[in-house]
Structure 1
Amino acid sequence: MAPAGRRRALTQDTSSRHDPELRAAARHFGRRRFFSVTAAAAALAFAADLPARGVAAGTELDAARIPDDPFTLGIASGDPLPGSVVLWSRLAPDPYEPDGGLPGQYVPVQWELAADERFATIVRRGLAIAYPEYNHSLHVEVEGLEPGRVYYYRFRAGSWISGTGRTRTAPATTAAAAELTYAAVACQAYHDGYFTVHRHLAQDDVDVVFHLGDYLYEYAVNSAGGAREYTDRKLPDLFNREARTLDDYRLRYALYKSDPDLRAAHAAHPFVVTWDDHETENNYAGAISENNDPPQEFLLRRAAAYRAYWENQPLRGAQQPSGPDMQLYRRLRWGTLAQFDVLDTRQYRSDQAYGDTLHPPGPESDDPARTITGATQERWLIDGWRDSGALWNVMTQQVCFSQRRFDVGDGARTSMDAWDGYRASRRRVLDGAKSAGVDNLVVMTGDVHVGYAFDIKEDFDDPASTTLGSEIVATSVASGKDGAEKPGNWDTYMKANPHLKFYNGRRGYVRVTVDRQQARADYRTVPAVTTPGAPVTTAASFVTEAGRPGLEPV
Structure 2
Amino acid sequence: MAPSGRTGPLSGLAFTPQDAELRAAARHPARRRFLTLTAAAASLAFTTGLPARGAFAAPRLEAARITEDPFTLGVASGDPLPDSVLIWTRLAPSPFEPGGGLGQEQVEVDWEVALDEAFIGVVQRGTVLAHAEYGHSVRVDVRGLDPGSHYHYRFRTGTWISPAGRTRTAPAAGADVASLRLAAVACQAYHDGYYTAHRHLAREDVDVVFHLGDYLYEYAVDPAGGARAYTDVVLPDVFNRETTTLADYRTRYALYKSDPDLRAAHAAHPFVVTWDDHETENNYAGAADENGSDPARFLPRRAAAYRAYWENQPLRAGQLPDGPDARLFRRLHWGTLAQFDILDTRQYRSDQAYDDVPHVPGPESDDPARTLTGDAQERWLLDGWGASTALWNVLPQQVCFSQRRLDLNAEAKLSMDAWDGYRASRGRLVAGAKAAGVDNWMVLTGDVHVAYAFDIKDDFDDPGSATLGTELTCTSVASGRDGARRPANWDTYTRANPHLRFYDGRRGYLRLELGRRNARADYRIVPFVTTPGASVSTAASFVTEVGAPGLTPV
Provide the TM-score with structure 2 as the length reference.
0.94
Matched position secondary structure for 1:363: coil
Q: Which amino acid aligns with 2:28?
A: R
Query: Residues 409-441 of structure 1: CA distance to partner in whole angstroms, max 9, x if unpaired?
Result: 312111000000000000000100111110000
The offset of 1:59, in angstroms, is 1.1
The residue that corresponds to 1:27 in the other structure is: 28
Matched residue type, 1:275: W
> Offset at 1:24?
12
Partner of 1:115: 115
Q: Match for residue 353 of structure 2?
A: 353
Structure 1 match to 2:44: 42
Q: Is 2:435 aligned against 1:438?
A: no
User: Structure 2: how far apart are the matches of 1:152 and 1:24?
Assistant: 41
Within 5 Å, give how 1:120-519 maps onto structure 2.
120-519=120-519
* Contact 1:47–1:323 under 8 Å retained in 2: no
Q: Shift in Å at residue 38 of structure 1?
A: 6.1
**Which residue matches 2:545?**
545
Aligned equivalent of 2:15: none
Matches within 5 A, 1:4-23: none
* 2-structure distance, mates of 1:155, 1:360: 54
Specify whether residues 330 and 315 from structure 1 end up closer, same or farther in structure 2 by C-alpha distance, changes over 3 A only: same
Structure 2 stretches lacking a partner, 5+ long: 1-23
Closer, same or farther: CA 37–351 of 1 in aligned 2, 3 Å: farther
CA distance in 1, matches of 2:103, 2:527: 44
**5+ long unaligned stretches in structure 1:** 1-22
Q: Report the 3-state secondary structure (helix = DSSP H, G, I; strand = E; otherwise coil) of the residue aligned with 2:252.
A: helix
Contact 1:366–1:421 (CA under 8 A) maintained in structure 2: yes
Q: Distance in 1 between matches of 2:542 and 2:366?
A: 32
Q: Name the structure 2 match of 1:520.
A: 520
Distance in 2 between the 1:56 and 1:235 partners?
Answer: 33
CA distance in 1, matches of 2:377, 2:49: 25
Alpha-carbon offset, residue 49 of structure 1: 2.2
Q: Which residue of 1 aligns with 2:93?
A: 93
Aligned-residue offset at 1:50:
3.8
Residue 71 of structure 1: SS of its match in structure 2? coil
| Segment drifting more, 34-43 vs 458-467 | 34-43
Aligned partners of 2:244 and 2:301 also within 8 Å: yes
Three-state SS of the structure 2 residue aligned to 1:200 is helix
Secondary structure, counterpart of 1:529 in structure 2: coil
| Kept after mapping to 1: 8 A contact 2:42/2:322 | no
Paired with 1:527 and 1:412, the residues of 2 have a C-alpha distance of 32
Following the alignment from structure 2 to structure 1, what is the Cα–Cα distance between the partners of residues 242 and 547? 47
8 A contact 2:29–2:350 mirrored in 1? no
Distance in 2 between residues matched to 1:527 and 1:495, nearest whole Å: 25
**Cα distance in 1, alignment partners of residues 90 and 122 from structure 2:** 22
Shift of 1:121: 0.4
Does the 8 Å contact 1:71/1:162 carry over to 2? yes
Cα distance change on mapping 1:293 and 1:40 into 2, 3 Å: farther
- SS across alignment from 1:140: strand
- Closer, same or farther in 2 for the Cα pair 1:291/1:157, shift >3 Å? same
> In structure 2, how many angstroms separate the alpha carbons of the residues matched to 1:222 and 1:172?
48
Separation of aligned partners in 2, 1:237 and 1:32? 34
Partner residue in 2 for 1:11:
none
Q: Does structure 2 retain, via aligned residues, the 8 Å contact 1:46–1:322?
A: no
Instruction: Specify the alignment match of 1:82 in structure 2.
Output: 82
Using a 3 Å threshold, how does the CA distance of structure 1 residues 48 and 353 change in structure 2: closer, same or farther? closer
Report SS of the residue matched to 1:426: helix
Identity of aligned residues (%): 69
Partner of 2:98, secondary structure, is coil
Counterparts of 1:66 and 1:481, CA distance in 2: 38
Amino acid in the other structure paired with 2:112? E
Cross-structure match for 2:9? none
Partner Cα separation in structure 1 for residue 453 and residue 414 of structure 2: 17
List per-residue Cα deviations over 1:114-165 (Å, max 9, x = no partner).
0111111001101011001001001110001000010000000110000010
Change (3 A) 1:51 1:405: closer
Residues 35 and 296 in structure 2, CA contact (< 8 A), matched pair in contact too: no
Task: State the 1:44 CA deviation.
Answer: 3.2
Q: Secondary structure at the match of 1:197?
A: helix
Tell me which amino acid in the other structure corresponds to 1:542.
Answer: F
Find the aligned partners of 2:29 and 2:191 in 1 and give their Cα distance: 38
Amino acid at match of 1:395: L
Summarize the Cα distance change of 1:37–1:139 in structure 2 as closer, same or farther, 3 Å threshold. closer
Displacement after TM superposition at 1:51 (Å): 5.4
Q: Per-residue deviation at 1:173? A: 1.3
Aligned residues: 529
1:506–1:527 contact (8 Å) kept in structure 2: yes
Q: CA deviation at 1:294?
A: 1.3
Matched position secondary structure for 1:35: coil
Deviation sequence 1:269-298 (CA, Å, 0-9, x none): 000000000000000000000011211110
Give the Cα separation in 2 of the matches to 1:449 and 1:304: 26
Asked if residue 59 in structure 1 is aligned to residue 42 in structure 2, the reply is: no
Change (3 A) 1:325 1:464: same
Aligned-pair distance for 1:34? 1.1
Find the residue that maps to 1:468 and give its secondary structure.
strand
Inter-partner Cα distance in structure 2 for 1:100 and 1:441: 43
Alpha-carbon distance between aligned partners in 1 of 2:381 and 2:452, rounded to the nearest angstrom:
24
TM superposition shift of 1:98: 1.5
Q: Which residue of 1 aligns with 2:4?
A: none
Partners of 2:151 and 2:56 lie apart in 1 by: 29
Task: Look up the equivalent residue of 2:115 and give its one-letter code.
Answer: A
Which residue in the other structure is 2:20 paired with?
A: none
User: 1:68 — aligned with what?
Assistant: 68
Which residue of 2 is the match for residue 529 of structure 1?
A: 529
Once residues 238 and 38 of structure 2 are traced to their aligned partners in structure 1, the CA distance between those partners, rounded to angstroms, is: 33
